[in-house]
């Protein structure tokens, strides 16, 4: 019985692997199996990523496929980066942009060493605000190119503004309460601050303190997080 169960599980694993989408060989930094880019656009992007790798050492790549064939994009993306081994061994600074065209899905897979510079929330914003709108309009090359510009800038520690700033309802309420408090203060206490009649008492006037005395300045320090030794960095989305 135990032998039969072992054989059945082995056959199930083999069958699952047989139906899994094959990982294409790494033919360069741009592997466009879905034919989203023209030859000129693919060559220009290949050169851009090569120049970036030469300048920084970070190895970024693009893979487009027609369909995931019922694979989860996260699983397929991990199989790709494990096979392609993007990034330097001692820095884990690779990145993959994966696009499944017919499924309308995409994922940014971030290497261990870049997770601090490109956190999940930023990768998600780039998908939602840069890639997805461009793909809905059929501007595939433009969206991909802009997304890589943002990812490259972020990987080098540059501040990247993506999309509209998200509103904070707590901040809005705080500002409203602050304004109401100011109005109450002015209405009830303004009269008490009016100057009273001067009464001479024969005492010498107090010296007026100068308001030009130096004030303290806060020296706020910055905080910069590094890449952690854990996997799963990145984000998935669609259009």
Is position 142 within any domain? yes
Instruction: Tell me if the pTM is above 0.75.
Output: no
If DSSP codes are grouped into helix, strand and coil, which group holds residue 230? coil
Examine residue 106 and state whether it is found in any structural domain, yes or no: yes
Contact of 118 with 151, CB cutoff 8 Å: yes
Q: Give the gyration radius of the chain's Cα atoms.
A: 29
Task: Give me the average pLDDT of each 10-residue run along the chain (239 residues).
Answer: 42 46 92 98 98 96 97 95 91 95 98 94 98 98 98 94 61 54 55 51 45 33 28 89
**What's 111's domain CATH number?**
3.10.310.50
In a domain, 180, yes or no: no
Q: Which domain holds residue 78?
A: 22-163
In a domain, 178, yes or no: no
Q: Does residue 192 form part of some domain?
A: no
Whether residue 188 is contained in a domain is answered as no
Residue 183 belongs to a domain: no
Per the structure, how many domains does the chain have?
Answer: 1
Nearest to 59 by CA among 117, 111, 126, 118: 111
Whether 92 maps to a domain, the answer reads yes
Q: What is the DSSP string of 101-170?
A: TTTTEEEEEE-GGGTTTS-HHHHHHHIIIIIHHHHHTT-HHHHHHHHHHHHHHHHTT-----SSPPP-HH
* The predicted structure's pLDDT at residue 162: 86
């Amino acid at each position: 019985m135990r032998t039969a169960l072992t054989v059945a599980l082995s056959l199930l694993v083999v069958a699952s692997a047989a139906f899994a989408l094959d990982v294409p060989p790494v033919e360069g930094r741009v592997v466009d199996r879905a034919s989203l880019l023209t030859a000129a656009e693919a060559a220009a992007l290949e050169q851009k990523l090569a120049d970036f790798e030469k300048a920084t050492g970070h190895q970024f790549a693009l893979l487009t496929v027609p369909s995931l064939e019922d694979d989860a994009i996260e699983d397929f993306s991990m199989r790709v980066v494990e096979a392609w081994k993007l990034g330097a061994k001692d820095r884990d600074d690779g990145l993959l942009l994966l696009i499944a065209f017919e499924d309308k899905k995409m994922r940014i897979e971030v290497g261990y060493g870049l997770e601090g510079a490109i956190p999940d929330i930023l990768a998600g914003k780039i998908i939602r605000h840069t890639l997805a709108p461009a793909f809905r309009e059929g501007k595939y090359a433009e969206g991909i190119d802009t997304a890589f510009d943002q990812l490259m800038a972020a990987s080098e520690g540059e501040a990247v503004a993506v999309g509209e700033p998200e509103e904070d309802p707590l901040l809005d309420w705080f500002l409203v309460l602050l304004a109401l408090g100011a109005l109450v203060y002015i209405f009830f206490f303004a009269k008490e601050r009016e100057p009273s009649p001067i009464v001479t008492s024969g005492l010498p006037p107090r010296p007026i303190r100068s308001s030009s005395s130096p004030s303290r300045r806060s020296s706020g320090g910055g905080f910069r997080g590094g890449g952690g030794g854990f996997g799963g960095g990145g984000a998935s989305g669609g259009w």
